[in-house]
Amino acid sequence: MSKTAAISPAAAQAGADPAAPSPQTVDTSTEGRWLDLLTPRHAATTVMLCMGVALFAFNGFLVTTVMPSAIAEIGGGELIAWSVSLYLIGSIVSGASAAALKSRFGSRLVMLVATLLFLGGTLAAALATAMPQVLLGRMAQGLGEGIVAALCYALIPALYPTRLVPKVFGAEAMVWAVASFGGPFAAGWITETLSWRAAFLVNIPLGLIFLVLAIKTATPREIYETGSRIPLAPLLLLAAGMLVLLSAGSAVDLRISALTVIVGITLVSWSVVRDRTSSDRLMPQGAFGFGSTVGTGLWVVLLMPVAQATSAVYIVFGLQHVFGYGPTAAGGFGAVMAMSWSVVAVLIANLTSPQARRRAIQGGPVLQCAGMILVAVGMALQILPLLVLGQVLVGAAFGSSWSYLNQMLMASSPASERDKTSGLLPTLQSAGYAIGAALAGLTANSLGFAGSSDADRLHLVLSATFVAPILWTLPAIILAQRTLRLAPAPWGPGLS
């Protein structure tokens, strides 16, 4: 990606507010108030970031709700999976290149173009007369939204003092919770009362409001980096790897599906290795290495969504076909994780002690492991309260650790690398879910999920499938501990 948004020359170069405190120099023991997010200095930025999250979250729930109605009108049901896959590919690839684009052209221009691309994709999908047009619109939405999400993350350490960063993540978590509960109902109501096209078009006024706020908040480039280039080889390898991974679920033959997953992960790994040798890199130096805070921390950011993806893909299905609940009840239980995440993120944002923040980061993967075990046991024994409790713990795992982990990685990056680290965080989250979904699909299909309609058989398959993601939480626990041992002051052991 590119140059950071920090203080002094680096801040000016990144288009940040030069008066914004540096995340590395602000006293983290100073307690911030929630109302500080709405002061004249921060109000526009706070609303803009929340709008960016709202667009991303609402779109995730909108598509699964409206696509059946769209297919009934324009056909193309065989392509429905690609409406999600192409969006994810576009989001991940564009998010990975966002910091390089910001360094080259400035945050205002890049945010403007990305938002217009998202709005153009929205119009293309809403006005489509055939499924390929919807898919083209979804790809454009993903390309725009990936950049928007990455730049919103990159702007957080530049435009907020350190004491407010956890509260920014808490505010975003609240928006996500509202979208997770209200998104499907709103999209369904609009589709039923108006049309599926109208549900897509809701993005237009939201996107225009975000665009105005982005122009007001983001500053233009002040220094033109003539030597800055986007490393195409790693980017193309990343795109190819994600394309292969996301197509794994459509493979009928299990051996082909397994080979597809292996090839996809290999291409993504090759992209990381190739990026390390590039003169202009997508990722921060030492990304996914084991000798630095950023290197090991990025693994945690990736592995936790990989583990969570199994629930995202199969838990609502299991609640319907194993527990016998209807779509509304199953969807409600499925959203418990998001609500727990949001509630805990809000509560945890009030921590001021560095030791408490360290414990929150360290405890996140542990809570996730415990939660995934309860989910697996609840599914196997068909005990709903146990399964729901597991979902609550998984949500609490993300809510307790996510904001402080992200903040620590931002603060631990050198000034010239902070944009790369910040912008990579939401991209890694999407990539983790995509990789985890591919692995979950491979596990379930290898156990006979595909084509099975027998309830007892599905119960056995899903029970075994929910055991696999527990394994991904174990390295996350170890790497979170190592990340904290390597962390600089005030995050490191004995340095607070």
How many residues belong to the chain? Answer: 496
Q: Where are the domains of the chain?
A: 38-219, 283-495
What mean pLDDT do residues 329-357 have? 84
pLDDT tens per residue across span 196-222: 899 889 889 989 998 888 888 766 554
**pLDDT for residue 119:** 94
The yes-or-no verdict on residue 306 having pLDDT over 70 is yes
Q: For residue 269, what pLDDT is reported?
A: 93
pLDDT for 124 equals: 94
Per-residue pLDDT of 381-422, as tens digits, reads 999 999 999 999 999 999 999 889 998 998 898 888 888 898
User: Which amino acid, one-letter code, is at 90?
Assistant: G
Q: What is the pLDDT of residue 450?
A: 66
pLDDT, tens digit (0-9, with 9 covering 90-100), for 80-92: 778 888 888 999 9
The CA–CA distances, whole Å, from 491 to 293, 357, 411, 481, 486 equal: 10, 8, 9, 12, 9
Task: Report the C-alpha gap between 265 and 170 in whole angstroms.
Answer: 32
Q: Secondary structure of the chain: what % helix, strand, coil (to 5)?
A: 75, 0, 25
In which residue are the tokens 């629930």 written?
Answer: 311
Task: Quote the pLDDT of residue 452.
Answer: 61
Q: What is the pLDDT of residue 451?
A: 60
How far apart, in whole angstroms, are the C-alpha atoms of residue 64 and residue 196? 11
Tell me the three state secondary structure of residue 323: coil
User: Percent of the chain, pLDDT > 70?
Assistant: 88
pLDDT for 22 equals: 42
Lowest mean pLDDT among 289-303, 385-399, 429-443, 481-495: 481-495
Give the model's pLDDT for residue 384. 94
pLDDT given at position 186: 79
Give the Å distances, CA to CA, from 336 to 312, 389, 433. 11, 9, 18
pLDDT value, residue 165: 85
Count of C-beta atoms within a 10 Å radius of residue 230: 18
Q: What is the mean pLDDT of residues 114-124?
A: 94
Encode pLDDT of 32-74 as tens digits: 788 888 888 888 889 888 888 888 777 777 777 788 788 888 9
pLDDT score of 365: 96
Residue 28 has pLDDT above 80, yes or no: no
The CATH class that applies to domain 283-495 reads mainly alpha
Pick the CATH number of 38-219 from 1.20.1250.20, 3.65.10.10, 1.10.10.10, 1.10.3470.10: 1.20.1250.20
Residue 494 has pLDDT above 80, yes or no: no
Buried b (16+ CB within 10 A) or exposed e, 388-405: bbbbbbbbbbbbbbbbbb
pTM: 0.82
Q: What is the pLDDT of residue 297?
A: 95
pLDDT in tens, 230-271: 788 898 999 999 989 888 766 667 788 889 989 999 999 999
Mean pLDDT score of the chain, rounded to an integer?
A: 83
